[in-house]
């Protein structure tokens, strides 16, 4: 199995800093190709969001380099999820402690994906960054941990009402700004022909799922250059439609 990847991030139209942080690592191992993709959106309404997002990204990068090789040798997939859970909770405490020290609120969302050839896939999620799978259609795999998403699930808001709701950016939990964090996890396996899209909320506000699916249609993504071009095209489309947030996307194509 082979895997193609592409990434693009943009500060956007109004913000001075890019509070999104991304980690994308690819390794050829004795049990096949391994890919780690992580996207974190530092909280735009909180100060130093870029610090919080980069702290979490660095923790996952260090895990990939220092701990994953030994875990792969044992193929103990449950141990990887356990370790991810500990990393997230450790960074929640670390960022929270740092924020209290400097008397500032820090926070970040997280969506992370690990692919170990066709053997194993793990997704971790906190907040409202998202992960989609594209095959014969487009499927949102992560569930937004936001107040309006909860209201939609309980039937108290419609999706149309949620788009206009003044609480639409209120998170139920995020790393660093919540006392306790309980990440969502998904385990599975990838299949040839699938495309996975990780994105910050700034990437999806001004475009539809249909536009995303058309741009990243699995059979049209033949190489990483084309994948990056299409990622940039959608980022520019968001900006043309006056998206004000940072805009970031990671694409993973399974061959």
Q: How many CB atoms lie within 10 A of CB 144?
A: 22
Q: Does domain 3-141+173-254 have CATH number 2.70.98.50?
A: no
Residue found by looking up tokens 């209290």 in the block: 100
| pLDDT more than 70, % of the chain | 98
Instruction: Tell me the domain boundaries of the chain.
Output: 3-141+173-254
- Pull the structure tokens for residue 139: 């499927």
CB 172 within 8 A of CB 147: yes
The per-residue pLDDT for 166 is 81
Place of tokens 């061959």: 255
Q: What is the pLDDT of residues 173-228, one digit of tens each?
A: 999 999 999 999 999 999 999 999 999 999 999 999 999 999 999 999 999 999 99
Query: Measured between alpha carbons, how far is residue 2 from residues 7, 116, 152, 216 in Å?
Result: 17, 11, 38, 18
pLDDT surpassing 60 at residue 45? no
Encode pLDDT of 165-187 as tens digits.
Answer: 888 778 999 999 999 999 999 99
Q: How big is the CA angle at 38 (ends 36 and 39), to the nearest 5 degrees?
A: 160
> Quick one: which of 20, 251, 238, 250 has its CA closest to 127?
20
């Amino acid at each position: 199995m082979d895997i193609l990847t592409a990434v693009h991030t943009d500060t956007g139209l109004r913000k001075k800093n890019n509070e999104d942080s991304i980690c994308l690592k690819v390794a050829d191992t004795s049990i096949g190709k391994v890919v780690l993709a992580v996207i974190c959106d530092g909280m735009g309404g909180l100060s130093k969001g870029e610090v919080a997002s980069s702290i979490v990204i660095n923790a996952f990068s260090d895990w990939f380099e220092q701990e994953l090789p030994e875990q792969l040798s044992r193929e103990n997939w449950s141990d990887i999820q356990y370790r991810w859970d500990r990393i997230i909770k450790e960074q929640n405490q670390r960022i929270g402690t740092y924020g209290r020290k400097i008397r500032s609120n820090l926070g970040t969302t997280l969506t992370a994906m690990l692919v170990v050839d066709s053997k194993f896939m793990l997704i971790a999620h906190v907040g409202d960054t998202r992960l989609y799978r594209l095959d014969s259609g487009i499927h949102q795999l992560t569930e937004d941990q936001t107040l309006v998403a909860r209201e939609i699930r309980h039937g108290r808001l419609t999706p149309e009402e949620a788009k206009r709701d003044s609480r639409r950016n209120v998170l139920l939990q995020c790393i660093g700004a919540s006392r306790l964090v309980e990440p969502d996890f998904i385990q599975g396996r990838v299949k040839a022909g699938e495309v996975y899209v990780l994105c910050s909320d700034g990437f999806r506000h001004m475009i539809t799922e249909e536009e995303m699916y058309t741009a990243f249609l699995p059979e049209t993504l033949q190489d990483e250059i084309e994948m990056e071009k299409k990622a940039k095209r959608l980022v520019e489309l968001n900006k043309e439609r006056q998206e004000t947030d940072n805009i970031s996307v990671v694409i993973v194509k399974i061959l």
